[in-house]
Structures are given as C-alpha cells and as structure tokens.
Structure 1
Amino acid sequence: MLAYLSRSAFVILCLPLTFSAHSLTTEAEKNSLKNVIPAFKANYTLLHKGDPVGKAVRELSYQKDGKTTYHYHTDIKWLIFSDKRSETSQVIVNNNQVIPQHYVYSREGTGRDKNYEWQYDIANKKAKDLKKERQITIDITEGLQDKLSYHLQHRLNLIENPEQKRFSYPVISTSGSIKDYVYQYDGEEELMLPYGLVKTIRLKREVTAKKRVTYAWFAPELNYLLVKLYQVKAGAEQFEAQLASIENNK
C-alpha cells in the first residue's frame, strides 16, 4: 500500500601562525551533514480519500560513532484494516554521498507480516541478507541506495542542485535485486498543510509496469524536506501523507 515516498581526514603539518587546527576543523564541520541537515523529527498525517487514517514519522539522528540513522514509520487504522511499518537505515555520508550500511524493515497488521534485515559492504560489492543468512554480490556500487536511504540522498541532491529536473537512484530491494528509481520535476505548488502554508516543488515517479504514480512535494523554505506524498495505482488513490509538525533534535 505504501511507497516510501546517510570527513574528510587531513594531517596538519607546519601550520602557519595565522591558522590553527581549530579553524580548519571548524571549516570541515561547516560542510558536514549535521550542518546541511540538522537532526530532526517530522510528523505527518496520513489520509485516504481525504480522511485521516493514521500517522507517520520521518526522523534523522547522528550517532557518536560517526554513522547516521534515518528512520521512517507509519501506523494506519482504517475500517477493519491495520498496517504498521517501520524502516531504519544506518548510513555513512561522505562528500554528500549517502552510503548505506544496515537496513531493517518490518511490517505487521492485516495480511502477512514481513521482516527484512540487510547489511551492506558497498566497497567490496557485498550485501548480506541477515534473515536468510545469505550473501550476494552486487554489480552496481556507485550511488547504490537501500529503500530508505535514497530519500536522504535525494534531499541532499535537491539542496545541492535545486535546478535539477531529473533524479535517478539505483536502489537495492529487500530481495537483493536492483532497480532505478527515477523522479522527474513536475512543477511548483503552494500547499496548505496541517503544518501551514508552504511553497513547494513537485516531483513525479511513474512505474508503468505496476500502473503506479507517486507524487512528492518538497519545500525549499524547509531545506527541501518532504512535506507531502501522494500515490495513485491503476487510477485509484492509495494514500496521502501531509506534514503536520517538525521537531529539531539534538
């Protein structure tokens, strides 16, 4: 039902008196992911045909070991249908490139429950399915993302290249296959959301084989945070997510 629409090192030798290690470190920190996208928690209202049916949370946090954790979960209750989903992607970000390390997904509710857990060693072209205890070789390594980390990469790309009209991401699925996720610029729009009035750019992803179209709205004034998501499959509305509030985390 749902589509889910992370240091450089240097050696200091013989620094001139006009410079210091502190000033160089500060310059490096200025360009770190923490300063580009500070830790946050964004809360969304989920709707089906205009009616509230649940909530969602998108969250970014930074760990002491230098890794970044990106998390997304949803909780839906509609008539006799229930659906809870959780995705967590642990990544490393180097020069604005998100490198996935560990991905966990769970789904429970009406129908069959699902659980997946993968570890990635992108540099050595390896991916390990921890649930099935199998390891596969991956053909694509440059820019490869998991099913959640590409959202973070996409936001970084929007921040760095706001005029870009087409974005493509090789994404490894929970089965180990790799597909390109392509988003096209689809216009600008001013939205009234539970959060308030925001100006946005709209992107579109179309999966012809599944007759599915996903629209995603990002707000430049909120550092290109995703503020709305809407999906249609075979002409029928699937779901809609609208930003309700933002919390800044430390």
Structure 2
Amino acid sequence: MRRALLFALALLALPAVQAADLQPYSATYTADWKQLPMSGGTAERTLTKNANDTWSLSFKASMMIASLTEVSTLKVDKDALLPQTYNFERGGLGKSKKVDMTFDWAAKVINGTDRGTAFTVPLNRGILDKSTYQLALQNDVAAGKKSMSYQVVDGDEVDTYDFRVLGSEKVATKAGQVDAIKVERVRDPTQSKRITVMWFAKDWDYLLVRLQQVENDGKEYNIMLQEGTVNGRTVKGS
C-alpha cells in the first residue's frame, strides 16, 4: 500500500509549461490515504533552468519509512521536449529500485540500467521518460486539447499513456480555491481497474493542484497542493 501511495505521489506537480517557454517552478503537496487516520506523506517538485540551456525536473516524496527520488534533465527544440537523462530511486519499501537512463539523440538510442541490469532501447523523436511526459501533458491541457497520448519509456519497454479531459471544476486547496481542468488517465478496463484523475489550475499556468487515485483493490489516495510558486509568483486561490 505504501508503494501505491508513492506511485500516486510520483504523478504530482506537473510543472507550468509551454514547451518553448518553460517557467521555473516549485510546489509542495500533502498526501492522504483514506484508510488511515493520518496524512500519508509529503512531496516536493521543482523545475529549474541550468546554465547549459537544459532544464532539471526534480521530484522527492517521503512517507513513513518510504522515500522516492526522480530527476530528469531535458532540452527544448522547436516546441519538442527532448529528455537527456533520467534517474529514479525508491527505498524503504522492502523492495528498492534504481533506474538510470541516458538519451543519445545522435545515435538514436537510450542506454540504461534497471536494478543493475543494462538495457538499450531505440530512441525516436516523441519518446519521453516517466517525468518529462508530464510536461507534455500539461502543455496539451493548456493548449485546450481534449485527448492526449504519449510514448513513454519504462525500463526496457515503451508504453502508451492516454489521457482525456473531463471538464472544469473548482478545487479547494490549502492555497485557496482554484478553477481547474479535470483530466483522467485512460486505461483498458479489462486490464486494470485503477483510476487516476488530476486537476490543473487555469489561473496558474495549469499547475497540478490535486490528484486522486483509486487502486485495483479499491483503496483511495488523495494528493493536494500545499503551497507553490510559478515563475516567482506565489500560488493563491480565492
């Protein structure tokens, strides 16, 4: 159950984005598991620009005895997001995991290791890692798209992630009430009963302010914005 909550935390904090004009960003979140009488954990995500015109997207989550760290570096080329490196590490869950990937765009190949086992995956334009696809998702929501699909490398495989917009809704966060766009992850119901729904704040460059996940066994997790800044502006609701 802790692994499931950290998985939900890992979907957090999709940074404010237009692909050609990324904005520095930071946000903290609280997480609640309805089957527990207390908060399940906290998470923080940041997007920063580096001196070499790359961007770093960093995510850290912790709950009880578990922790998760995820860091991607990327470049922007003609409105396309090009991952450069991806590093993931999870610990304290009884089964640790460490994944490292390097995206070689010249050779069109991804070289990586998963729990120490090396792998190689062909690299084509449009393939994203499990962190940078979130930037593409938020960019498409901001552009008004109603359905989205992404090719995401996960270890030595490339999976398709599908999403659809459900409509507009007000969300009460610790930073105040915000107007948001509600988005759902689309899954084959014959393969998975998991439900993932996200809310993006319209007035704050479509910052993710809430995430709800229901697992196959019916357990529910809710993750809510605590505080954040977008390009130096403090997020404040009504």
Instruction: Provide the TM-score with structure 1 as the length reference.
Output: 0.79
Q: How does 1:201-220 map to 2 (within 5 A)?
A: 201-207=181-187, 208=189, 209-220=191-202
Task: Say if 1:237 and 1:55 are closer, same or farther in 2 by CA, change over 3 A.
Answer: same
Match of 1:172 among 148, 153, 165: 153
Residue of structure 2 equivalent to 1:58:
45
- In 1, the alpha carbon distance for the partners of 2:19 and 2:164 equals 28
Percent identical across equivalent pairs? 25
Paired residue secondary structure (1:124)? coil
- In 2, the alpha carbon distance for the partners of 1:158 and 1:148 equals 16
Paired residue secondary structure (2:219)? strand
Task: Say if 1:237 and 1:189 are closer, same or farther in 2 by CA, change over 3 A.
Answer: farther
- Kept in 1, the 8 Å contact 2:213–2:222? The answer is yes
Q: Does 1:134 align with 2:118?
A: yes
Paired residue secondary structure (1:210)? coil
* Cα displacement (A) at 1:203: 0.6
- Kept in 2, the 8 Å contact 1:73–1:86? The answer is yes
- In 1, the alpha carbon distance for the partners of 2:19 and 2:120 equals 32
Paired residue secondary structure (2:141)? helix
- Kept in 1, the 8 Å contact 2:119–2:156? The answer is no
Gaps of 5+ in 2: 12-17, 233-238
Letter of the 2:55 counterpart:
T
Q: Deviations over 1:80-139 (max 9, x none)?
A: xx321111010001122111110000001131111111101245320111464735242x
* Cα displacement (A) at 1:157: 2.2
Q: Does 1:114 align with 2:97?
A: yes
Q: Does 1:188 align with 2:171?
A: no
- In 2, the alpha carbon distance for the partners of 1:238 and 1:42 equals 22
- Kept in 2, the 8 Å contact 1:123–1:141? The answer is no
Count of residue pairs brought into register by the alignment: 215
- Kept in 2, the 8 Å contact 1:126–1:135? The answer is no
* Cα displacement (A) at 1:206: 3.3
Instruction: Provide the TM-score with structure 2 as the length reference.
Output: 0.83
Letter of the 1:167 counterpart:
M
Q: Deviations over 1:226-247 (max 9, x none)?
A: 1111111125134221111113
Question: Which has more radius of gyration?
Answer: 1
Q: Deviations over 1:181-211 (max 9, x none)?
A: 0011112110111121001011111333232
Q: Does 1:102 align with 2:85?
A: yes
Letter of the 1:97 counterpart:
A
Q: Deviations over 1:5-59 (max 9, x none)?
A: 2xxxxxxxxxxxxxxxxxxxxxxxxx984xx332111111111117422111111
Residue of structure 2 equivalent to 1:47:
32
Match of 1:87 among 50, 70, 86: 70
Gaps of 5+ in 1: 6-30
Paired residue secondary structure (2:136)? helix
- Kept in 2, the 8 Å contact 1:168–1:183? The answer is yes
